[in-house]
């Protein structure tokens, strides 16, 4: 199979999702907003600074471990995740992070990639006591928090003077073409292997994941969707299960191949 996972898989690890049945309305920052000026970046990094420790404390749940077990046993050709939290990798899986990883930072000037943990140390030095003072803020799906009081928060630049951005695909950005092609290739290979595309914990609201479901359906590859709420891919599903990701993947891993 090719397994595509979304934010619903990480809710059992304490990371909320954007579009689950009980999720409040949330508007993520877009790329255009992030690059619009210092005020937007100050707001983003202040929220991220407070939320980073909580994201770092998240641990893989049974669903992540089940996916890793399926991969080890050779039942997954490619594990694609829309999540940026790194929990698949922490569980021992070799996941293709479609939208990148929050653990990395990229400079929009020199394009150097560095550690988010190292940036956290710089943010702490520049803003002593800030995270503790806002520790009650509500966590958001991307590892930041709901926070409006960002006055005075200081944001460092890259050593080259360029703007630092989390190394993830923001709304308004495109997933790198080679990454997308690798996913298409894996889905297309299923047609010759009597395989299936399995989606767990994604509403498939954005095209970055939905396009693989549509490609599978056009090729006659079975599409299995397991998600508590409705998804945009439901019209293309061969099998549709309304269930939790951890329960579904754990049962799948326990089933004899």
| Contact in structure between 8 and 226 (CB atoms under 8 Å) | no
DSSP β-ladder status, 100-107 and 113-115: antiparallel
CA 190 – CA 175 distance, rounded (Å): 22
- Going across the sheet that includes 239-241, the strands are 95-97, 78-81, 2-5, 197-200, 223-226, 239-241
Query: Does residue 158 have a known ligand-binding role?
Result: yes
Query: Does residue 107 have a known ligand-binding role?
Result: yes
Closest by Cα among 188, 257, 255, 202 to 233 = 202
Query: Does residue 183 have a known ligand-binding role?
Result: no
CA 234 – CA 221 distance, rounded (Å): 15
Residue 66 DSSP one-character state: H
| Contact in structure between 28 and 18 (CB atoms under 8 Å) | yes
User: Coil, helix or strand for 123?
Assistant: helix
Catalytic residue flag (residue 99): yes
SS3 content of the chain, % helix, strand, coil (to 5): 40, 15, 45
Closest by Cα among 122, 85, 93 to 11 = 85
- What angle do helix axes 38-57 and 116-126 make, rounded to 10 degrees? 110
Which member of 65, 99, 134, 236 is catalytic? 99
What are the binding residues?
107, 110, 158, 160
Binding site listing for Zn(2+) = 107, 110, 158, 160
The catalytic residues are 99
């Amino acid at each position: 199979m090719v397994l595509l996972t979304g934010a619903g898989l990480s809710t059992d690890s304490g990371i909320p999702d954007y579009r689950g049945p009980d999720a409040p309305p949330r508007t993520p920052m877009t790329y255009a907003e992030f690059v619009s000026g210092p005020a937007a970046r100050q707001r983003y990094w202040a929220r991220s600074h407070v939320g980073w420790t909580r994201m770092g404390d998240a641990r893989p749940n049974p669903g992540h471990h089940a996916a890793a077990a399926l991969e080890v046993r050779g039942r997954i050709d490619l594990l694609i995740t829309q999540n940026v939290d790194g929990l698949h990798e922490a569980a021992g899986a070799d996941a293709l992070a479609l939208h990148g990883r929050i653990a990395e930072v990229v400079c929009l000037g020199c394009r150097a990639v560095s550690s988010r943990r190292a940036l956290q140390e710089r943010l702490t030095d520049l803003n002593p006591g800030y995270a503790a003072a806002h520790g009650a803020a509500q966590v958001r799906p991307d590892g930041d928090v709901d926070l409006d009081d960002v006055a005075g928060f200081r944001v460092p630049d890259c050593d080259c003077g360029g703007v630092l951005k989390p190394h993830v695909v923001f709304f308004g950005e495109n997933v790198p073409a080679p990454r997308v092609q690798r996913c298409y290739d894996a889905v297309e290979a299923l047609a010759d292997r009597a395989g299936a595309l399995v989606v767990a914990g994604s509403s498939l609201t954005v095209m970055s994941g939905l396009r693989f479901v549509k490609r599978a359906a056009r090729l006659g590859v079975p599409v299995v969707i397991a998600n508590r709420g409705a998804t945009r891919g439901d019209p293309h599903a061969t099998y549709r299960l309304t269930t939790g990701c951890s329960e579904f993947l754990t049962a799948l891993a326990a089933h004899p191949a």
